[in-house]
Chain A
Amino acid sequence: MIRLLYIGLLGQILLSCINMNDPRSQSEYIDYRDKFDKSLVKLFPDRLPNNMLRFEFSAPYENIPGRLNLMTKYFSEKEYNETKTKYLNQSKHRKMSDDKCLFLIDNYEGTNQKICHDFYPIPTNAIVETSSDGKSKNKSTDSEIFFIDLESGDFLQDNDKHSRQDLPVNWIHGYSTGVTTNDNNKTIQIWLVVW
């Protein structure tokens, strides 16, 4: 009887090590990740983690930037803080989500965005939260943004014209990658935007 219990316990431990994400989502994520240059997606894990909440992708098309987001949820305070500290140490800039100088690079609804002297491009989903019913979108006020890397230049190199004439001259092409953390929800979102 005890032997059976041990076998059951061992089985449970082994099962907890398996990546339980839906294989189709997993293959889509890997496929999307591979669409970007490896140097741009260094922050993203090579497969979906078990604590994944959602991921989003959009391919670059004309003046629409390419984008990849991966949202993860932490249930352990310690693990969340360790991960956040890791990103904090890597970050070049740290901003709050209500900072007026954050530039939503893929937001065309309110195009009259303020462009500060220091340019901080981010994808809309990095700070805008959609309500559970999907009907309303609100800008997060309690999230922190860590810019891990941002650089101007043509990183897509697919011979398509992606230049953004509405941006400062040295930023007509570029990319920005970083993480958005939320202490209340214990979520960490890794994001990348390339144009």
Chain B
Amino acid sequence: MVSSLVIPFYFMTKKIVKKYLILLLVYTVVVRFIGFYGLRLYYTLADDPKLLPATVQSFQAFVTAIEFTLKILVVIFMLIDVKGKKLIDWLIITITFFNADIGIVLFIVWAFYKEWPQKYEAQQQL
């Protein structure tokens, strides 16, 4: 009886964590790696680097646009996934909007923390 209550919840948390870990990976690769190191690697490795300042500016603007879209996407996912939002949930969502990677990590930690008492109680009852 108790284990049937615990397993769906644990499965749901795992599913959410997996989803947000993928989002964190995508965000890190796009923003932190391609956005930061992309052109720096090009200027390190290219024999005769010739990019117009306007092209560089366009690339940086494109990465910024992608970053913004990803942030919005993550925030929307969070708004959908979090049921019965508390102040801390709103705080994490706000942090995510300004700094997505820190926000996602906080969200994952908070999801585990919320799950912990229920799992502990279930174990006690067993």
Contact = CB atoms under 8 A, between A and B. Distances in A.
B91 interface: no
A26 to B, nearest CB: 5
B53 interface: yes
B63 to A, nearest CB: 11
A93 interface: no
B40 A18 contact: yes
Contacts of B41: 18
Interface stretch (B5-13, B19-27, B43-51, B79-87): B43-51
Interface size class of A (residues with CB under 8 A): 10 to 19
Contacts of B51: 23, 27, 30
A90 B21 CA distance: 57
A34 B51 CA distance: 12
Interface of B is mostly: helix
A23 B60 contact: yes
Given A30-B49, A30-B50, A47 B56 contact: no
B57 interface: yes
Contacts of A19: 40, 43-44
A27 B56 contact: yes
B90 interface: no
A31 interface: yes
A21 B43 contact: yes
Interface residues of B, number: 18
User: Which residue among B42, B44, B55 has the maximum number of chain A CB atoms within 10 Å of its CB?
Assistant: B44
B83 to A, nearest CB: 38
Interface in B51-74: 51-53, 55-57, 59-60
Interface in A73-89: none
Contacts, number: 44
A27 B51 CA distance: 6
B105 interface: no
Nearest to B55: A27
Contact of A31 (B40, B44, B48, B53): B53
Interface string A29-47: 0110010000000000011
Contacts of B57: 24
B52 A27 contact: yes
Interface string A5-33: 00000000000011111011011101100
Contacts of B49: 26-27, 30, 46-47
A47 B53 contact: no
B14 to A, nearest CB: 24
Interface of B: 37, 39-44, 48-53, 55-57, 59-60
Given A23-B40, A30-B50, 6 more contacts: A17-B44, A18-B41, A20-B40, A23-B42, A27-B56, A46-B48
30 contacts: A17-B44, A18-B37, A18-B40, A18-B44, A19-B40, A19-B44, A20-B40, A21-B40, A21-B43, A23-B39, A23-B42, A23-B43, A23-B56, A23-B59, A24-B56, A24-B60, A26-B56, A27-B49, A27-B53, A27-B55, A27-B56, A30-B49, A30-B50, A30-B51, A31-B52, A31-B53, A34-B50, A46-B48, A46-B49, A47-B49
